[in-house]
Amino acid sequence: MPPNHPGRRDNYDTVSESGPVPGTLDAMRWLWTPAWIARHVAMVVLVVGFLGLGWWQISRAAAGNTLSWGYAVEWPIFAGFVVYVWWREVRLARRNAAAATGQPADPTEQPADASPATGESRPAVRRPVRVARVPAASEAVEDTDLAAYNHYLSWLNANPGARPGDYPG
Amino acid sequence: MGAALTRYRVIAWIVGVVLILLVVIGMPLKYGFDNPVVVETIGPAHGFLYMIYLVAAFDLSRRADWPLKRMLLVMLAGTVPFVSFYAERRVTGWLARPADRTPEPVAG
């Protein structure tokens, strides 16, 4: 993908349709690496196999095996789960590729949007991000009252069910 | 996370116990003594409980943001007799680490 392509960058969720060359599947080329083809094939094989097993169970159930009605319901659910997992992996890889500006995390994948101004292609509201907060150094606290209060608060945090009257310090 | 982990642990323990009953008692009775009554009663119950186990493991894997491979391994571990207990201990060790809950000062 040329980095300065004047394509429709505002289409974040329809990145597959706003490729570098409109009207082609260039933006989905990263889904056509050998590893991804293997995943697509595995997904299709599993879904077809599971649906076939479900159909087999329907025939068994029709032949009089009551328990097979349950299995006939289970196999399509498994097939749907396979599709769901496949779709989640595709979405995850696309998000990772979009997050890595310029350099994709996986060398087999091309980033979905390699332009440096990826901030424009993002929606204004993003998913919340968990950040590991580094505990502040305790020697930075000069105020002894503040230190005592912090100690009290960390004790409360460490003992969620405790009442303030139980504070030993 | 805590509730999902508890749900997973409970159903993992139940599935593990029922699977051991099936393998240790049911299968010898059926194939050694030609008495399939235990397998016929516990077998479908185990299948149903294992579906609940799959749902609980999937729910936990989504909350804990596991990679796909780990989720599938945990799911498959429930099918192996005795190994399911080990898997449950491993999962609990991953998720219930007390080091993650160290308090931190509010100011300073």
Model confidence at B27, pLDDT cuts 50, 70, 90, reads confident
Rounded alpha-carbon distances, angstroms, from residue A136 to A55, A141, A153, B98: 61, 9, 14, 19
Tokens of B40: 């016929």
Measured distance between the N- and C-terminal CA atoms of chain A, rounded to whole angstroms: 62
CA A102 to chain B, closest CA, distance in angstroms equals 24
B56 SS3 class? helix
pLDDT of residue B31: 76
pLDDT of residue A49: 93
pLDDT of residue A32: 80
Lowest mean pLDDT among A21-25, A57-61, A68-72, B11-15: A21-25
Tokens of A84: 């769901």
Asked if B106 has any chain A CB less than 8 Å from its own CB, the reply is yes
Model confidence at A35, pLDDT cuts 50, 70, 90, reads confident
For B51, name the nearest residue in chain A, comparing CA atoms only.
Answer: A74
Domain range list for chain A: 26-121, 136-169
Q: How far apart, in whole angstroms, are the C-alpha atoms of residue A33 and residue A167?
A: 60
Closest-CA residue to A67 (of B104, B54, B41, B82): B41
Model confidence over B72-97: pLDDT tens digits?
Answer: 888 888 888 888 888 888 888 887 76
Q: Which has more pLDDT, B96 or A37?
A: A37
Q: Is B16 exposed, middle or buried (0-12, 13-18, 19+ CB in 10 A)?
A: buried
pLDDT of residue A121: 54
pLDDT of residue A77: 92
pLDDT of residue A114: 44
Asked if A106 has any chain B CB less than 8 Å from its own CB, the reply is no
pLDDT of residue B4: 82
pLDDT of residue A106: 46
pLDDT of residue B103: 61
Chain B partners within 8 Å of A70 (Cβ) = 44, 48
Tokens of B64: 């804990």
Determine the average pLDDT of the residues in A123-140.
Answer: 68
Lowest mean pLDDT among A105-109, A139-143, B71-75: A105-109
* Residue A158 to residue B108, Cβ atoms within 8 A: no
Determine the average pLDDT of the residues in A101-116.
Answer: 47
CA B10 to chain A, closest CA, distance in angstroms equals 22
pLDDT of residue A45: 94
Asked if B103 has any chain A CB less than 8 Å from its own CB, the reply is yes
Determine the average pLDDT of the residues in A79-106.
Answer: 78
pLDDT of residue A125: 74
Asked if the ipTM is above 0.85, the reply is: no
Chain A partners within 8 Å of B58 (Cβ) = 81
- Alpha-carbon torsion, ordered A97, A98, A99, A101, to 10 deg: 90
* Residue A158 to residue B106, Cβ atoms within 8 A: no
* Residue A135 to residue B68, Cβ atoms within 8 A: no
* Residue B103 to residue A158, Cβ atoms within 8 A: yes
Q: How far apart, in whole angstroms, are the C-alpha atoms of residue A114 and residue B81?
A: 49
Determine the average pLDDT of the residues in A47-75.
Answer: 88
For residue A9, the number of C-alpha atoms closer than 13 Å in the C-beta half-sphere is 17
Whether pLDDT at A65 is above 90: no
* Residue A154 to residue B103, Cβ atoms within 8 A: yes
For B71, name the nearest residue in chain A, comparing CA atoms only.
Answer: A85
Rounded alpha-carbon distances, angstroms, from residue A137 to A2, A146, B106: 46, 14, 11
For B72, name the nearest residue in chain A, comparing CA atoms only.
Answer: A85
Mean pLDDT comparison of A129-138, B86-95, B96-105, highest-scoring range:
B86-95
Chain A partners within 8 Å of B105 (Cβ) = 135-136, 138, 141, 150, 153-154
* Residue A74 to residue B51, Cβ atoms within 8 A: yes
Q: How far apart, in whole angstroms, are the C-alpha atoms of residue B98 and residue B75?
A: 25
Asked if A101 has any chain B CB less than 8 Å from its own CB, the reply is no
Whether pLDDT at A89 is above 90: no
Asked if B2 has any chain A CB less than 8 Å from its own CB, the reply is no
